[in-house]
Amino acid sequence: MSETMKAAIFVKPGEMTVEEVPKARVEEPTDAMIRVVRTCVCGSDLWYFRGLSGHAEHSQIGHEAIGVIEEVGSAVESFHVGDFVVVPFPYSCGTCPVCKAGVESCCPHGGYFGANQAEYVRVPEADGTLVKVPGSPEDYDDATLASLLTISDVMSTGYHAAVSAEVKAGDTAVVMGDGAVGLCGVIAAKMLGATRIIAMSRHEDRAALAREFGATDVVAERDQEAVDKVLAMTGGYGADAVLECVGSKQSFDTAVGLARAGAVIGRVGLPHDVTISAEGSFYRNLGIKGGPAPVRHYDLGGLLDAVLNHEIDPGRVFTAEYDLDHIQDAYEDMDQRRVIKSIIRF
């Protein structure tokens, strides 16, 4: 009889549960299998939980994790049993032209994780996917583990927004979205040298954290009022860079409205019903860049070190902790905005 493990199960919109399912295992020579140390709930999981996007009912879910390797396939060369690793939400071959261009999140030989809210996770293409952390989980305190978990997705995604928006030293950057990604976007904008960081937030707890992360201003207005306010704050010219961390048409249109001519909108919010008017953006030389974050590219390119050196502290986006058995609470509390982001410990 095969082994089992506990896993979060998406029953239907609004309902999560935990069940025993067949334990994740190495299936291909290039796989690794990880014992999960921390996982969490993503804003994009809430799209399913709220019934706004489709997800197979009664199926596993989750794409963020850090953990320890329990088993490696025969073809895995760079990782070994016992290694402590970050599991980026996309898996990738690491060797094709797309990966070599630093866009691992679009590797045609890769894909996205979708069963990481569980005790164990199968990692395809382990060599091209995982990010090694020195030592073992026991060497780190809870705060550092939380920050390490963010570089499996939200911190890397916020960073992708800032890089895509081409934030540079001295810029005024606007961050659309005060979820965990937007808050990490504030950290990222600061890392890239923005001197004025305007966080769009109408939630006191999130606005406060945004300020602690480096936001110099908070704008609670929306739509044309938000545009007017940012224009007034920038002498009428608009923001040098915009991090679009929501994905709604409302947010995107606001981003276009408050961007300076020639600015780039770095978008990482999954687009929902967004259409881009080619003409409107053309005459203002507005750029649009972004997509799923190439997590591994950024983790190896500096984010892992920034966390380990305590230069950044993105784990603070986790404002409540749960065990896997309380996965329903972890979703519900985030859905109801009682917490910014829910972390699951094992």
103, 92 Cβ separation under 8 angstroms: no
- Helix 249-258 vs helix 223-233: crossing angle, to nearest 10: 30
Q: Which of 83, 125, 178, 240 binds a second copy (CB under 8 A)?
A: 240
Element (DSSP H or E) covering residue 337 = none
For position 22 contacting a second copy by CB under 8 A, the verdict is: no
Which CB, 137 or 257, lies closer to a second copy? 257
For a second copy, the closer of residues 39 and 172 by Cβ is: 172
Judged by CB under 8 A, which of 288, 317, 339, 343 binds a second copy? 288
Q: Are 298 and 156 a contacting pair, CB within 8 Å?
A: yes
Cβ nearer to a second copy, comparing 149 with 154: 154
From 209, 172, 164, select the one nearest 190 (Cα to Cα): 172
Q: What is the DSSP string of 164-223?
A: HTT--TT-EEEEE--SHHHHHHHHHHHHTT-SEEEEE---HHHHHHHHHHT-SEEE---H
Q: How far is CA 33 from CA 2, 28, 141, 340, in A?
A: 15, 11, 24, 30
Phi, psi (rounded to 5 degrees) for 96: -80, 170
For a second copy, which residue of 13, 137, 257, 291 counts as binding (CB under 8 A)?
291
52 scored as a contact of a second copy (CB under 8 A): no
CB 260 → a second copy: shortest distance, Å? 6
Per CB under 8 A, which of residues 304..323 are in contact with a second copy? none
Across the strands, what pairs with 10? Answer: 16, 59
Region from 73-81, 291-299, 324-332, 334-342 binding a second copy, contact rule CB under 8 A? 291-299
In sequence order, the 6+-apart residues with CB closer than 8 A to the CB of 184 are 150, 154, 155, 157, 158, 159, 213, 314, 317
Query: x/- string (CB under 8 A) for a second copy, residues 247-286?
Result: -----x-------xxx-x--x--xx--xxxxxx-xxxxxx
69/274 with CB nearer a second copy = 274
Q: State which residue, 151 or 286, has the beta carbon closest to a second copy.
A: 286
296 binds a second copy (CB under 8 A): no
In single-letter form, the type of residue at position 138 comes to E
Instruction: Count the site residues for a second copy by CB under 8 A.
Output: 43
Whichever of 114 and 291 has its CB closer to a second copy, that residue is 291
Shortest approach of a second copy to residue 63 CB, angstroms? Answer: 15
Sign of the dihedral through C-alpha 177, 182, 186, 192: negative
3-state secondary structure of 131: strand
Does 245 sit near a second copy (CB under 8 A)? no
Amino acid present at 159:
Y
Part of the chain binding a second copy (CB under 8 A), chosen from 187-195, 205-213, 216-224, 228-236: 228-236
Rounded CA-CA distance 9/15 in Å is 9
Q: How far is the CB of 257 from a second copy (least distance, A)?
A: 14
Letters for 150-169 (x = contact with a second copy by CB under 8 A, - = none) are: --------------x-----
Choose among 338, 333, 328: nearest CA to 12: 328
Q: Should residue 302 be labelled a site residue for a second copy when binding is judged by CB under 8 A?
A: no
322, β-bridge pairs? 344
Closer of 114 and 287 to a second copy (Cβ): 287
The smaller minimum CB distance to a second copy, of residues 109 and 211, is found at: 109
Q: Which of 52, 56, 101, 208 binds a second copy (CB under 8 A)?
A: 101
The binding site for a second copy (CB under 8 A) comprises 96-98, 101-103, 105-108, 164, 234-237, 240, 252, 260-262, 264, 267, 270-271, 274-279, 281-292, 294
